[in-house]
Amino acid sequence: MVGLGVAVVAVGGAAWAAIPNSANGRITACFTTGAATKTLRVIDAQAGQVCTASETTVSWPTDGLRWRGAWSATTAYATSDLVSFGRTGQVFVAVSASTGQRPANSGAWGVMAGGTGMTPTQIGALRWDRDPTRPATVSVGPALRNLAFDGSSLWVIVNGGSVTPTLSKVNPATNGFSATGIAGAGSTGLAFDGTDIWASNSASGKVSRINPSTNTVTATITVGTNPAGIASDGTSVWVANSGSNSVSKINPATNAVTATVTVGTTPEGVAFDGTSVWVTNSGSNSVSKINPTTNAVTATVAVGTLPRRVAFDGASVWVANSTSGTLSRINPTTNAVTAIVTVGTTPLGLAFDGANLWVANYGSDTVMEIDPVTNAVLATVPVGDGPNGIAFDGADIWISNDNSGTLSKLRP
């Protein structure tokens, strides 16, 4: 029990007569989860004693609980092992031996203390909205499109189907708005370059540069026809012009377009993998790989039907094929498709949370969590109507639900 920060409260009298329980050889106690000072109160379960509503019931065999630290997928755990799991550090106790069984979604584990206040089943289903400390959804407005996180606030395109779309700015800690109705915003693509928010406006053929501190547009740059996806490589901003079959390269120091690169038909999504820029060509069923120094297309990779969005997970490039209902996984060194993962209907938004990949299935009204190592679907979560954009804020996954005008916030 070293390291848990709990205090054992001794009990006396006749209670010791049935501790441990003579029927199963286990000791039962009640753990306080809400108080600043945690306590473990041993009870006589065999005599009918139970924990209060504010306590968590825990039990262990006479050889005690064993603290094993942070959960690992490769460690073999035995009954009564204790681990911490997830970004919230919730403590779980093993109720049976297992290896590779995640505490959040496996019957091999029971919740002990700390963390979110959710049950293991709720965490396993990634239903953050059932956490009693959080609201279920954030109502924003109609026709929500892409999302971006700037390190402190979440940005979402509102009324993306209009010629005069706006941006709303959400505080991810409170789920409240810090600004709404920001004018001059884009209707399709949205990205953060480490300093400013960049938004592409398909109707006007322009890109807006927005100061996230003042919420004002500081520059408007003309690019190609129907600009869509947008991304930064740390030096330049890249915009996919879906109506021009090209990509515009913008110098943020001058706000000037320094190069226009011809790619495939109807380019939409853009991502940077630390070395190259990747662009999905939805009309060509391919992805173009661009050298950001020479501005040359160095590879064209065939993927599924109607590829829309693209993301990088630190090792592989992932492409959402909307008509195919699949994800293509690409090795950025060999440019080979190494896996095809079946997901939901009309996959669009993609995001990586540092551990797993997330995809928004527009036609299925769900979000899926993908293990980027095994390519396995770890969870399928119902969200709002028409999930479109998706972003990670360092703690939670946010999804813009196009048709219901809401944001869903999931806790990984």
What are 182-215's pLDDT values in tens digits? 765 557 899 998 889 999 988 889 999 999 999 9
Please state, in angstroms and rounded to a whole number, the distance separating the CA atoms of residues 341 and 346: 13
For residue 42, pLDDT over 80 is answered with: yes
Confidence of residue 167 (pLDDT cuts 50, 70, 90): confident
For residue 65, pLDDT over 80 is answered with: no
Confidence of residue 160 (pLDDT cuts 50, 70, 90): low
Q: Are strands 227-232 and 216-222 parallel, antiparallel or unpaired?
A: unpaired
How many helices (H) and strands (E) the chain has is answered by 1, 38
For residue 4, pLDDT over 50 is answered with: no
Calculate what percentage of the chain has a pLDDT beyond 90: 44
Higher pLDDT, 87 or 410: 410
Please state, in angstroms and rounded to a whole number, the distance separating the CA atoms of residues 323 and 311: 18
Q: Verify cis geometry, omega within 30 degrees of 0, for the bond prior to 20.
A: yes
Confidence of residue 86 (pLDDT cuts 50, 70, 90): low
**Cα torsion 256, 261, 265, 271: sign:** negative
Q: For residue 123, give the nearest of 398, 381, 370, 367 by alpha carbon.
A: 381
Q: Which residues fall within 8 angstroms of residue 132, CB to CB, at 6 or more apart?
A: 117
Mean pLDDT of 169-176: 84
- The token duo for 150 is 């700037």
Please state, in angstroms and rounded to a whole number, the distance separating the CA atoms of residues 138 and 188: 20
Q: Which DSSP letter does residue 113 get?
A: E
Query: Do residues 62 and 25 touch, judged by C-beta distance below 8 A?
Result: yes
Q: Among 137-146, 260-269, 381-390, whose mean pLDDT is lowest?
A: 137-146
Phi, psi (5° rounding) for residue 264? -85, -165
- The token duo for 169 is 């700015």
- The token duo for 194 is 């480490």
For residue 1, pLDDT over 90 is answered with: no
Averaged confidence pLDDT in the chain: 83
Q: Which residues fall within 8 angstroms of residue 35, CB to CB, at 6 or more apart?
A: none
Query: Do residues 43 and 49 touch, judged by C-beta distance below 8 A?
Result: yes
- The Cβ-side half-sphere exposure at 274, using a 13 Å CA radius, reads 8
What is the set of domains in the chain, with CATH numbers? Answer: 1-64 (no CATH), 66-122 (2.10.10), 137-410 (2.130.10.10)
Each residue's pLDDT tens digit, 229-261: 999 998 999 999 999 999 999 999 999 999 999
Phi, psi (5° rounding) for residue 124? -60, -35
Phi, psi (5° rounding) for residue 15? -60, -30
Please state, in angstroms and rounded to a whole number, the distance separating the CA atoms of residues 277 and 358: 20
- The token duo for 297 is 């297309």
Mean pLDDT of 82-102: 75
Confidence of residue 33 (pLDDT cuts 50, 70, 90): low
Q: Please tell me the pTM assigned to this model.
A: 0.69
- What kind and span of H or E run contains 121? helix 120-124
Q: Among 47-51, 52-56, 215-219, 227-231, whose mean pLDDT is lowest?
A: 52-56
Tell me, what amino acid is at 346? T
- The token duo for 238 is 């890249």
Please state, in angstroms and rounded to a whole number, the distance separating the CA atoms of residues 401 and 279: 24
Question: 326-342 burial, b for 16+ CB within 10 Å, e for fewer?
Answer: bbbbbebeeeebeeebe
